[in-house]
Chain A
Amino acid sequence: MPLTGIEIFKLLPKTNCKECGVPTCLAFAMSLAASKATLTACPYVSAEAKAKLQEASAPPIRVVNIGVGARALKVGGETVMFRHEKRFENPPGISLLIKDTMSDAEVDARLDRFIQLQYDRVGLTLRPELIALKAESGDAGKFVALVNKVKQKVDCSLILMSDNPAILTAGVKASAERKPLLYAATKDNVDAVAALAKETACPVAVKATSLDEVAELTDKLTKAGVNDIVIDSGARTVRKAFEDQVIIRRAALVKKFKPFGFPTITFPAEMTDNPMKEAAIAAMFVAKYGGIIVLSDFQGEVLFPLLVERLNIFTDPQRPLATTQGIYEINNPNENSPVLLTSNFSLTYFIVSGEIESSKVPSYLLVMDTEGLSVMTAWAAGKFVADAIGPFVKKSGIADKIKHRKLIIPGYAATESGGLEEELSGWEILIGPREGSLIPAYLKTWK
């Protein structure tokens, strides 16, 4: 629980020295509570108060960084049980599993898929972040060879999987600069793995056989000075794994139970032999609290829905996704093709562009920046009205691409047609359908 302004005030020197830039300690405390200031601005705060404040301001679920550079992954840091209460913060990392017993050709094929399978959506690139390398052969040399091979080919973050501290050590020696996640500390090897994590400053996962054991292991690690922890409760049945996710999240957020205050790692890869079922299980973990989701393999038909589901669930409910303003060419339009106008709410864009595409009628879609609002909302808010649409259409450059001067506007903005004919002299304004699903029928009658 974050401290209130008054609680923070009690920990401050109360000298009103103004050196922090604020007239009084109370005002400074209020700024701290509202996260508008940082404690470093106060030169006189005691070490004890500092520690207390830092502890109180630490997120109930720790943010753990795995990897470095462009593909570094941040997991954890969640503050709510339900996305509508605020938002979900850090999308789960999606990981591909590769074992050191796989043939070179198999490893290469997987790495190729890892690199190729990425998707552009609403101006974002959706792609997986992690590769989990599992030492199954028991041969440290083989494991290190795999680590090196993967490192050479991709710049992603890594998970090193072995119960054997010696093999894990060999693996991390070969990849320490990538800050891999060490998987895992178990009750049998926890001291050795804790020492390794400390020495290499790598994050570490605990793998337990029960929730009680999770708490014991994370407690041991934190006492050993290792704080970047990821939790595997060990459950591999759907029900138990699901319930563990809920219990871990709730204990950390609601009960402030420190030993569970870390992101989790889940293994659909180890819960079924059917890749389709595995995808369904992964879909569950995206919605319910998986911090990292490890899949046995990547195929487009699995990865695409999963990455898009992740994008959807982790969209900030207060900030709708928007697509870029501009001219979208659909079905190879030419100078005689119809021109349709819509708003830049990403959902509106997907539905409208999808319907135009399925109509097979070559068309131009003009997407106007309405700050991510849908047509009706934007119209009601005065952002999708004639005196905004007119200048946008003129500046868009669409007139250079077409011979005709006809613009199809959404049915919900029908009342703007008069104003638009004034704004866009020489243009004919046509009223399109209200619902996206009626666009194909409408376009088929367009001449």
Chain B
Amino acid sequence: MPVEIPKIAYSGKVKEVTLGKGGKTVTVGGETSYPFYLFEGAMTNKPKIAMEVWDCPPEDWAAAALEPFAGVTGDPVAWAKKCINDYGAEMIALELISTDPNGLNRPAAEAAAVVKKVSDAIDVPLIVWGTANHEKDTEVLRLVAELCQDKRLILGPVEEGDHKRIGAASLAYHHTVIASTPIDINLAKQLNILLGNLGVPDDLLVMDPTVSGIGYGIEYCYSVMERMRMAGLTQQDEKLQFPIICNISKETWKTKEAKSPTGEVPELGEARKRGILLEAMSSVALLMAGADVLIMRHPEAIKLVREMIADLTAS
């Protein structure tokens, strides 16, 4: 019995954005269908993974997450290089944890100098992620933008409360902006419009819907992302056609289920594999919903997700 495969006629397309500069740029977006619906559309650029690096030594990471980076967690440059050389990172996401006013509260100038050092030491695209504190991020990211002005960094999170000043600095120094909103499709659209009004061109914008992992509200960002894709691909909503970036690693590894050691709760199985799987399986779910860039931590979780992307796009 011949089956007619029901296909959707998509009216829109995700915008293509090229991250980084020079030889090792990474282009994301460009999909013409729902994620991996390759029987009716194309994914010119496969989703990409950026590896997470912290600008200060992590204090409360699970042993399994620290182990692959033993010896380099005190040095962001060495850490980033290890990700690239040993684990094949296509992009680095530098988390400016040390700038958190509720934590180390490192001054902007010091933080920016670290970003500069990392960006000088690597040739893959560099994502720079603040602490979502508007005043501090404004101070830090503006300085970063200026200090690394020829680097085409990817700067975020840029939120409604600080978009003008960080957006203007990014624009002035030609960086890419991560428009970040709290799990709400309307706010996402609004911020994209505001950034557009500010003059940020479409090819310098990606959106962060604010994600969380399995057990901690993944269903919310999952549906917001699906709605963004639906709006962008089938309802000609141009302001929701940007690539989606998901900062998932921190969210999965900070949970008690990812940190609980083997044997503490026997039903939770082996701690190392559990942490890796919470990260990998959360990432797979986000890929299903429309992630274009995943920020990830554990090399084995990354390997699994890379394999899934390769398998899903295999010809």
- On A, residues with C-beta under 8 Å from B are 82-84, 116-119, 121, 211-212, 214-216, 219, 237-239, 242-243, 246-247, 250-251, 254-255, 257, 259-260, 276-277, 279-281, 283-284, 286-288, 299-306, 308-309, 312-313, 315, 317, 347, 350-351, 354, 357-358, 438, 441
Contacts and interface: CB of A to CB of B under 8 A. Distances in A.
Interface of B: 1-6, 36-39, 60, 102-103, 214-219, 222-223, 226-227, 230, 255-257, 259, 266-271, 273-274, 276-278, 280-282, 284-285, 288-289, 300, 304-305, 307-308, 311-314
Given A239-B311, A304-B267, A312 B215 contact: yes
Contact of A118 (B218, B267, B304): B267
A243 B41 CA distance: 12
A212 B277 contact: no
A239 B270 CA distance: 29
29 contacts: A82-B230, A121-B215, A212-B2, A239-B314, A243-B36, A243-B37, A246-B37, A247-B5, A276-B277, A280-B280, A283-B284, A286-B285, A287-B222, A300-B267, A300-B269, A304-B268, A305-B277, A309-B214, A309-B281, A312-B214, A312-B217, A313-B222, A313-B285, A317-B223, A347-B217, A350-B215, A354-B256, A357-B256, A358-B256
Given A83-B223, A300-B269, A219 B1 contact: yes
Contact of A299 (B2, B6, B270, B276): B270
**Most chain B beta carbons < 10 A, residue from A257, A279, A283, A317:** A283
B6 A305 contact: no
A259 B1 CA distance: 10
Nearest to A438: B102
Given A259-B1, A441-B102, A84 B280 contact: no
A358 B258 CA distance: 12
Contacts of A219: 1
Nearest to A250: B6
A279 B267 contact: no
A128 to B, nearest CB: 12
Contacts of B217: 312, 347
B216 A304 contact: no
Given A84-B227, A299-B269, A302-B269, A279 B1 contact: no
Contacts of A317: 219, 223
A256 to B, nearest CB: 10
B219 A237 contact: no
Contacts of A357: 256
Contact of A287 (B280, B288, B300, B314): B288
A380 B60 CA distance: 35
A441 B280 CA distance: 29
Contact of A212 (B3, B60, B312): B3
A279 B266 CA distance: 19
A208 B181 CA distance: 45
A443 B239 CA distance: 42
Q: List 5 tightest A-B contacts by C-beta distance, closest first.
A: A300-B269, A301-B269, A238-B311, A301-B274, A283-B281
Contacts, number: 167
Given A215-B1, A280-B308, A305 B274 contact: yes
Contacts of A281: 308
Contacts of A305: 214-215, 274, 277-278, 281-282
Interface centre among B2, B39, B273, B277 (most CB of A within 10 A): B277
* Main SS at interface, chain B: helix
Name the residue in A247, A259, A303 with the highest tally of chain B Cβ atoms < 10 Å from its Cβ. A247
Nearest to B34: A246
Given A212-B3, A308-B214, 10 more contacts: A246-B39, A276-B273, A284-B284, A300-B268, A300-B269, A301-B273, A302-B273, A304-B257, A305-B282, A350-B216
A412 to B, nearest CB: 13
A117 B266 CA distance: 9
B277 A301 contact: yes
Contacts of B304: 276-277, 280
Contacts of A250: 6
Nearest to B278: A305
A255 B274 contact: no
Nearest to A238: B311
Nearest to A244: B39
B307 A277 contact: yes
B267 A251 contact: no
Nearest to B216: A350
Nearest to A442: B102
Contacts of B280: 276, 279-280, 283
Contacts of B222: 83, 287, 312-313
Interface centre among B102, B217, B227, B308 (most CB of A within 10 A): B217
A276 B314 contact: no
A18 B304 CA distance: 64
Contacts of B289: 287
Contacts of B284: 280, 283-284, 287
A260 to B, nearest CB: 8
Contacts of B5: 211, 247, 251
Nearest to B314: A239
A325 B267 CA distance: 26
B152 to A, nearest CB: 31
B60 A358 contact: yes
Contacts of B218: 309, 312-313
A123 to B, nearest CB: 15
A236 to B, nearest CB: 11
Contacts of B214: 305, 308-309, 312
Contact of B3 (A251, A283, A301, A315): A251
Given A239-B38, A247-B39, A300-B268, A280 B223 contact: no
B6 A247 contact: yes
Given A243-B38, A287-B285, A312-B214, A257 B223 contact: no
Given A239-B312, A351-B216, A301 B38 contact: no
A301 B268 contact: yes
Contacts of B102: 438, 441
